[in-house]
């Protein structure tokens, strides 16, 4: 069965703290009749800092949709390669061994997809398949894992590369001041992540079952209004309550695999906000500590959209402690309202002494080291 290997994650060098966010909201929306509520909601997110590709003052200026999208493309090409190379190194594979690239992003648009540029610029085979996914929002991280699982199952021995590129700051709209938007302005951050699903071998999560579920009649609860100024994020106040109908779906999927969703050994859950995590803990009857890596991701990076599940999984690798046959689930939630879920067990490659060992294979390959160092990005193995 396919193995999901240790992800690589990169967050940009520009930091926006909770205090920065509160001061900014107070200054820009001083006359807002519900400012106190917005500030309280931002504090309650639990997000202490976020990272952005541009400095805060630059982010606040809106040069237009065209310039925003050009910034997205520039930073994607600048930041993706080193993360991909780390993910390949974590999986002990070369670019020539990748059979499909699954690229997910909801914060910018390119056609052809960045996958075409990657194949031409990074040494991937010319017959590498391309699967760009652009409209699943935060659920796309889970969807990418599921599509990689499907591909590697259908093509025995094939290897899939997942890439998530989310620059949520490029969706900041200074003229939008509804409560949902003000909350979102204090919640989302930027990140690039990548992971390899190996058809054979490796240490990580063995992907054994996956599923998808859409809550009926919730299409407008998380959405974009596409205007001349770009993507305007729209968030319905009912979204935090979606774990009540989704928890039974997770229970059912895990139960179909013969396991109990309340008794798994690890949980990698999309950190859309603290209530999402708290409610799912309650409905699944697990301790809050079970979602510790998702909570840490939210606190340190904010909601980084489709990259959340890969970053939370990276933290699980770093924490170690899992043994072969330990059971777990990955779940991503996003527009639709959609849930993308993967169930599987931990596998330790016999070549590795301890599950979750840190990468010991040396520095980033030199082909992209100069470009990456110029961004002064904070790379994660």
Question: What are the residue numbers of the active site?
Answer: 138
Rounded to whole angstroms, the Cα distance separating 205 from 326 reads: 9
Rounded to whole angstroms, the Cα distance separating 222 from 234 reads: 6
**Which stretches does DSSP call E strand in 35-186?**
49-52, 100-104, 129-133, 160-167
What helix, strand, coil percent values describe the chain, rounded to 5?
40, 25, 35
CB of 239 within 8 A of CB of 226? no
Looking only at the bridges linking them, the beta strands covering 378-380 and 8-11 are antiparallel
Rounded to whole angstroms, the Cα distance separating 13 from 51 reads: 7
- Single out the residue of 201, 147, 194 nearest to residue 2, CA to CA: 201
Q: Print the SS3 string covering 192-222.
A: EEEEEEECCCCCEEEEEEEEEEEEEEECCCE
- Single out the residue of 236, 229, 206 nearest to residue 342, CA to CA: 206
| Dihedral pair phi/psi, residue 347, rounded to 5° | -130, 135
Cα torsion at 174, 177, 183, 185 (round to 10°)? 0
Name 365's Cβ contacts closer than 8 Å, sequence gap at least 6. 85, 89
- Single out the residue of 188, 171, 167, 165 nearest to residue 225, CA to CA: 171
- Single out the residue of 130, 77, 47, 92 nearest to residue 296, CA to CA: 47
- Single out the residue of 257, 242, 260, 258 nearest to residue 333, CA to CA: 242
Q: Which long-range contacts (CB under 8 A, 24 or more apart) does 109-116 make?
A: 109/69, 109/72, 109/134, 110/72, 110/73, 110/76, 114/73, 114/76, 114/77, 114/80, 114/163, 114/165, 115/163
Rounded to whole angstroms, the Cα distance separating 151 from 342 reads: 14
CB of 39 within 8 A of CB of 71? no
């Amino acid at each position: 069965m396919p193995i999901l290997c240790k992800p690589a994650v990169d967050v940009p060098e520009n930091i926006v703290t909770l205090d920065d966010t509160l001061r900014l909201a107070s200054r820009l929306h001083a006359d807002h009749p519900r400012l106190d509520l917005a500030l309280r909601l931002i504090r309650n997110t639990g997000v202490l800092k976020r990272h952005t590709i541009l400095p805060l003052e630059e982010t606040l200026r809106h040069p237009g949709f065209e310039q925003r999208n050009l910034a997205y493309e520039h930073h994607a090409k600048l930041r993706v390669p080193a993360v991909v190379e780390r993910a390949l190194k974590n999986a002990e594979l070369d670019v020539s061994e990748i059979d499909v690239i699954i690229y997910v992003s909801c914060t910018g648009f390119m056609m052809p997809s960045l996958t075409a540029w990657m194949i031409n610029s990074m040494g991937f085979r010319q017959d590498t398949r391309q699967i760009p996914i652009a409209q699943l929002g935060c659920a796309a991280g889970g969807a990418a894992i599921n599509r990689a699982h499907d591909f590697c199952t259908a093509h025995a021995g094939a290897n899939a590369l997942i890439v998530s590129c989310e620059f949520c700051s490029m969706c900041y709209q200074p003229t939008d001041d509804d409560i949902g938007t003000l909350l979102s302005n204090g919640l989302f951050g930027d990140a690039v992540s990548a992971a390899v699903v190996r058809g054979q071998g490796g240490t990580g999560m063995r992907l054994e079952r996956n599923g998808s579920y859409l809550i009926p009649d919730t299409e407008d609860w998380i959405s974009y209004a596409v205007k001349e100024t770009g993507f305007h994020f729209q968030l319905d106040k009912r979204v935090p309550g979606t774990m009540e109908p989704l928890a039974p779906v997770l229970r059912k999927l895990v139960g179909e695999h013969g396991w109990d969703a309340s008794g798994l050994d690890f949980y990698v859950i999309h950190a859309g906000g603290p209530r999402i995590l708290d409610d799912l803990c309650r409905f699944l009857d697990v301790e809050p500590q079970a979602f510790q890596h998702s909570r840490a991701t939210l606190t340190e990076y904010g909601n980084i959209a489709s990259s959340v599940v890969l970053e939370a999984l990276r933290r699980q690798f770093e924490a170690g402690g899992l043994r072969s046959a330990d059971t777990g689930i990955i779940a991503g939630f996003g527009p639709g309202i959609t849930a993308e879920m993967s169930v599987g067990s931990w596998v330790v490659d016999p070549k590795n002494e301890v599950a979750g060992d840190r990468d010991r294979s040396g520095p980033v390959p030199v082909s992209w080291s100069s470009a990456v160092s110029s961004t002064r990005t904070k790379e994660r193995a």
